[in-house]
Structure 1
Amino acid sequence: MVAAAGGGSSSARKPYKGGNDMGAFFEEVDDIKKSLLQYDENIDTIETLHKRSLNEISEEQGSYTQDQIQSLSNESMSLSQSLKDRIKNLQKYSSGDSTKKTQAENLKRQFMSSIQRYQTVEATYRQKYREQAERQYRIVQPEATDAQVKAAIDDAQGEQIFSQALMTSNRRGEAQTALSEVQNRHREIQKIEQTMAELAQLFHDMEILVAEQEAPVQHIDNQTQAVQTDIEQGLGHTNKAVIKARALRKKKWWCLLIVICILGISLGVGLGVGLNNN
């Protein structure tokens, strides 16, 4: 028997509130890592339970295994929501510190990788359940077309279609067992599809989180560039002002020199005229 793993004590922790305490930050990082490890262990256990469910002989055993899968799936989705919120919170308080930001980014990538692995496990066993249900259906309807088999497994009236097929079957001994098998697989497939939809939404939320975190960084970069441009423009204006001031001073000195020359010439001419008159 595979026992469902517990969710750990991370949910009892107080949310990380940021600040300059690196000890508190890395304590939160370590605790999130433990939760990610638990999440991965849950995925492994769910995969094992799916494999067992395919090989269960009795309906009672199959029902018990599916209850385990459902319980662990619910636990894992609750844990994943907690991880999403905690990683988002960690990134919120890490944008101004490169060390913290790197740690938060690593946790985010690890979590998204685990989500994708969980999606792969569910997609794989959805297909295996379908194939098994198809085989069961063809036991009582060997001549059924692919469309009829698909309708029996996928459609909302699939069970009714299968029941009608049993009425015309001459293999009643196997038919009732096959009907129960297909009905169970139909429900299991629906549960898997619901889990896959939740995982797809979770992965999408994490992608949005990436975009939300990149936007402030881009805004800061834009502001930095704008400040740099303003500084460069200010320096350009200052340099132009200095050049103009220097040119103006040169012009003043030239003007003063010209005035002195004019005064000197005028004084010289005046003295010359006076001496001639005498």
Structure 2
Amino acid sequence: MSRDRLNDFNTGTEVISSKIQQFQANITEIDQLFTKNVSRPADAEGAKQLEEKTRTTNSLSTEIYDRLRALTESNRRVHTKEEYDRRKLRTSTLSKQFKDAVSRFQGMQYQNGQKSKDNIARQYRIANPNATEDDIGRLVDQDQGGAFSQQLLQQARGQQATAALNSVQNRQRELHSLQESVVELAALYQQLEHLISDQDVQFQEIEASVFRAGNDIEKADSLVGLALVDGKSARQKKWFALGIVVLIIIIILIIGAAQGWFKSAA
């Protein structure tokens, strides 16, 4: 049974490892798509592609976390030191790899959000060269596609200004999505922190249990050995006592023969 569990564990960790690699590849692709779209404000297809890739990557991150959590629960069935050692190393390695990948994704999305803010500010300055820093700050940090940006769009004059403000609105939606992504990834990172902490506690409990089981086996072996020694000693004592009895009988017979105890009466 233990060998079957270990095989299931190995299969499960291979799946998780493969999905973490896909997650890491998706992060790189998302960053490349974002960089490409920054230089193409009107690229609706590119924006859609970026949105879809981000959504599938977020779903993948949830799946990986759920698999790691299930793996953690399955570790409670460990009974041997061999299985414990293998599970601890593999589980800890995968959890750290995923945690590092989530941290990288979170940092990347935050940086891309800052780039989007810079882009919004730049586009707005094109539409309104007289804009104050307060106007830009309000547009970037507070409004994000609301009434203020609508008002600016209505006040825009000229084709370039209108195009720039349209680009501002597109970037505001993009920024909002990035900020949501950062919040979600921060929550996932915290969940991973708790999961890894739970794994450490669990493995300490498992290690203590396996150690106790090993000690119990050693004690049992020791008791069996003592029982065998005691049994052997008891048998030796029994044969020694029997030998003494036989010797006494022989001595009595010899003395009796010498004294004529066994001669027939004349």
State TM-score, norm by structure 2.
0.69
Equivalent position of 2:105 in the other structure:
118
Does 1:51 find its partner at 2:23?
A: no
Shift of 1:66: 1.5
Does 1:70 find its partner at 2:51?
A: yes
Determine helix, strand or coil for the equivalent of 1:20: helix
Select the residue among 97, 120, 135 that pairs with 1:148. Answer: 135
Equivalent position of 1:20 in the other structure:
3
The 10-residue stretch of structure 1 (88-97 or 158-167) with the greater mean CA deviation from structure 2: 158-167
Equivalent position of 2:177 in the other structure:
191
Change in 2 beyond 3 A, CA 1:85/1:159? closer
User: 1:224-239 to 2 correspondence within 5 Å?
Assistant: none
Determine helix, strand or coil for the equivalent of 2:131: coil
Determine helix, strand or coil for the equivalent of 2:136: helix
State TM-score, norm by structure 1.
0.66
Does 1:202 find its partner at 2:188?
A: yes
Determine helix, strand or coil for the equivalent of 1:53: helix
Change in 2 beyond 3 A, CA 1:142/1:104? same
CA–CA distance in 2 between the matches of 1:102 and 1:116?
A: 21
Shift of 1:177: 0.3
CA–CA distance in 1 between the matches of 2:88 and 2:206?
A: 15
Change in 2 beyond 3 A, CA 1:210/1:139? same
Equivalent position of 1:250 in the other structure:
none
AA aligned opposite 1:145: T
Query: Aligned residues, how many?
Result: 205
Determine helix, strand or coil for the equivalent of 1:142: coil
Shift of 1:222: 8.0
User: 1:197-276 to 2 correspondence within 5 Å?
Assistant: 197-218=183-204
Equivalent position of 2:91 in the other structure:
104
Equivalent position of 1:89 in the other structure:
70
CA–CA distance in 2 between the matches of 1:220 and 1:100?
A: 11
Shift of 1:87: 1.3
The 10-residue stretch of structure 1 (107-116 or 149-158) with the greater mean CA deviation from structure 2: 149-158
The higher-RCO structure (CA 8 Å, 6+ apart) is 2
CA–CA distance in 2 between the matches of 1:75 and 1:47?
A: 14
Task: Please give the per-residue CA displacement for 1:189-229, whole angstroms capped at 9, x wherever unaligned.
Answer: 0011111111111111111112222333455678889xx9x
RMSD: 2.5
AA aligned opposite 1:129: S
Shift of 1:165: 3.8
Select the residue among 18, 25, 40 that pairs with 2:24. Answer: 40
Change in 2 beyond 3 A, CA 1:19/1:86? farther
Shift of 1:28: 1.6
Change in 2 beyond 3 A, CA 1:166/1:87? closer
Task: Please give the per-residue CA displacement for 1:91-122, whole angstroms capped at 9, x wherever unaligned.
Answer: 22335411111101100000001101111211
Structure 2: 5+ residue stretches without partners: 79-83, 216-266
Determine helix, strand or coil for the equivalent of 1:94: helix
Checking the alignment, whether the CA contact within 8 Å between 1:32 and 1:83 is kept in structure 2 is yes
